Amino acid sequence: MTDRTASSRPDVLIDIRGLVFSRGTRRLFDGVDVTVRRGEVVAIMGPSGTGKTTLLRLIGGQLRAQAGQVNVDGEAVGSLSRRALYRLRRRMGVLFQSGALFTDLTCFDNVAFPLREHTDLPEALIRHVVLMKLEAVGLRGARDLYPAELSGGMARRVSLARALALDPEMILYDEPFAGQDPISMGALMKLIRELNDALGLTSVVVSHDVEEALSIADRAFVLSEGQIVEAGTPAELRASHSEWVSQFLNALPDGPVPFHYPADSMADDLRTGRDQ
Amino acid sequence: MISALQSLGASTLAMLGALGRSVLFLLRVLLGLGELARRPRLLIQQLHSVGVLTLVIIVVSGLFVGMVLALQGYYTLVDFGAEQSLGVLVALSLTRELGPVVTALLFAGRAGSALTAEIGLMKATEQLAGMEMMAVDPERRIIAPRLIAALISLPLLAGIFTMLGIFGAYFVSTAMLGVDGGSFWSQMQAQVSFGDDVLNGLIKSVLFGLVAGWIAVFNGYDCVPTSHGVSRATTGTVVTTSLVVLGLDFVLTALMFD
């Protein structure tokens, strides 16, 4: 590694270089470079199945890259010891697509969970912190509800409060807008942007909701076929000449990405009569 | 023909792979036990849900198994005029075999399946992954207390099963069959040895507790995180635990009693 890599620059928090990752025989990433600077909101966009969630898992150290570097704050995530990895994770919040709330705990206890696990704070203080975090996402009044009693958007906001509980430096959002009604979508967009700016966070938003992601992001990366096909500010992306990017951004059904999944010719399929 | 061989090979490899993963998994969980020692509350909660909530089925089955043993034993023994030995027969069967084995089988059905389903669902709903990203190791926070709770509960439940079985047999022998209560107890006391019978039964139930807990938590942790995967893992826990307990029991009996 040369010392000119971006990870040695103090303003870069997450630095991914030449990332290669395969699952089974499928190569999900084939030389992906992504840099995330401190304090910005970065969107990583791409069609379903391009491994956007996998990218977050690589950043969080739940998966290891087969080649290339994933550096978070100058530390190579893939080669950290278990202890160092867990120390790094305390500085990260992750918002899972499903919310991943503990179903047998109330919202209050869900948000209190990381505090109770990692700190020896007295219960009175934990109560203060939890209520503050819930207030930040607008759900202080829902603290005694169980996750099953929440709507999808509320569950994601509680999950966001839980991710904020330990005052992380960065938050990774996995498809925060998927399956949300317009009102909760708006609430989530506002939260992601405002929390990032108010708390001085760094946010990585993985999403295929182009309009929403672009409207809150400072910069965006577009993933396709294991590579970054376009990167830049939202305005730069919109002005992109790439046919693929314009198909993706404008939601056209056919284009460089074919409507049909790759297959043998229809005539051959019908003639053989059965699947082998 | 070739495809039959192929699938035989594939399933053998899959089984060996699961066996290897489960051993590594057990070692990791055992190495992480230090954290559990600092937080006994987690263990106590699990002792309640794994042990105490299994008590009803153990109490009822223990009583009935003992009562049936007394009836069946009496009809055989009375032909030889040896019905006074009924207490010995019942106590030996229960302490050596039925107590540990039947308890382990019932435990797999009641507690093991519940453990697998709980952990499998936590995996399917990303709760385990979420915990990992909150820098909480699910192997220490979720798995270890459940495994140790199974290890502690099963011997205790087997003891309760055995005692209630003997009590049920005593009740049936004296109240229904007219066996003398004094000789029921005195013969039992004379013939059942603590070192050979009770202790060996205890060793068995400790091993069964480890096996039942291990299979249950591993199946949950290793399941395919879909509804079908969780249901298969749950069934797998009951079937595998039952087979392993029965096989292990044969081996242990052959080694222990001669």
> Residue B215's closest CA among B128, B127, B141, B119?
B119
Q: Does A170 touch chain B (CB under 8 A)?
A: no
Q: Which residue has the tokens 């697998």?
A: B116
Show residues of chain B in contact with A98, CB under 8 Å. Answer: 125-126
> Which residues in chain A have Cβ-Cβ distances shorter than 8 Å to B134?
89-90, 94, 113-114, 117, 162, 166
Would you call B141 and A94 a contact, using CB atoms and an 8 Å cutoff? Answer: no
Task: Note whether residue B190 is domain-resident.
Answer: yes
Which tens digit of pLDDT belongs to each residue from B76-118?
A: 998 998 888 899 999 999 999 999 999 999 999 999 999 999 9
Number of domains in chain B: 1
pLDDT at A1: 41
Is A80 within 8 Å of chain B by CB?
A: no
Q: Which two tokens stand for residue A70?
A: 């994933």
CB contact under 8 A, A103 and B125: yes
B125 Cβ under 8 Å from any chain A Cβ: yes
Residue B134 to residue A102, Cβ atoms within 8 A: no
Q: Which tens digit of pLDDT belongs to each residue from B155-180?
A: 999 999 999 999 999 999 999 988 88
pLDDT at A276: 54
| Helix (H) or strand (E) run with residue A95 in it | strand A92-95
- Tell me whether residue B103 is in a domain: yes
All residues of chain A having their beta carbon less than 8 Å from the beta carbon of residue B39 are: none
Q: In this predicted structure, what is the pLDDT of residue B130? A: 87
The answer, for A121 touching chain B at a CB cutoff of 8 Å, is: no
Helix B113-124 and helix B199-221, axial crossing angle in degrees, nearest 10: 20
HEC string of A224-238? ECCEEEEEECHHHHH
Tell me the residue range of the domain where B111 lies.
39-256
On whether any CB of chain B is under 8 Å from the CB of A102, the answer is yes
pLDDT in tens for each of the 276 residues of chain A?
A: 444 454 456 788 888 888 888 887 788 888 888 888 888 999 988 877 777 888 888 888 888 888 888 888 888 888 888 888 888 888 888 888 888 889 889 999 999 999 988 888 899 999 999 998 898 888 888 889 998 898 888 888 899 899 888 888 899 988 888 877 888 888 888 888 888 988 888 999 988 888 888 888 898 888 887 888 888 888 888 877 777 777 777 777 777 766 777 777 888 888 876 665
Question: Could you tell me if residue B30 is inside a domain?
Answer: no
Q: Is A139 exposed, middle or buried (0-12, 13-18, 19+ CB in 10 A)?
A: buried
Nearest-CA residue of chain B relative to A167? B134
Neighbours of A176 (CB within 10 A): 29
Q: Which residue, among B133, B136, B141, B142, would best test binding to A if mutated, counting the most A CBs under 10 Å from its CB?
A: B133
Alpha carbon distances (Å) from A157 to A95, A100, A130, B135:
9, 11, 13, 20
Contact between chains at A117 and B134 (C-beta distance less than 8 A): yes
For residue B99, tell me if it sits in a domain. Answer: yes
Give the residues of chain B that fall short of pLDDT 70. 258
Q: Please indicate, yes or no, if residue B2 is contained in any of the structural domains.
A: no
- What was the pLDDT predicted at A77? 85
Task: Give the gap in angstroms from C-alpha B53 to the nearest C-alpha of chain A.
Answer: 18
Tell me the whole-structure pTM to 2 decimals: 0.83
Within a domain: B16: no
Assess if residue B229 is contained within a domain.
Answer: yes
Residue B229 burial (C-beta neighbours within 10 Å; 0-12, 13-18, 19+): middle
Query: What pLDDT shows up at residue A176?
Result: 84
Cβ contacts of residue B56 below 8 Å, gap of 6+? Answer: none
ipTM of the complex: 0.77
Which single residue is written with the structure tokens 């792979």?
Answer: B17
Considering only the beta carbons, identify the residue of B129, B134, B137 that sits closest to A62: B129
Residue B161 belongs to a domain: yes
Write out the DSSP string of A164-227.
HTT--SEEEEESTTTT--HHHHHHHHHHHHHHHHHHT-EEEEEES-HHHHHHH-SEEEEEETTE
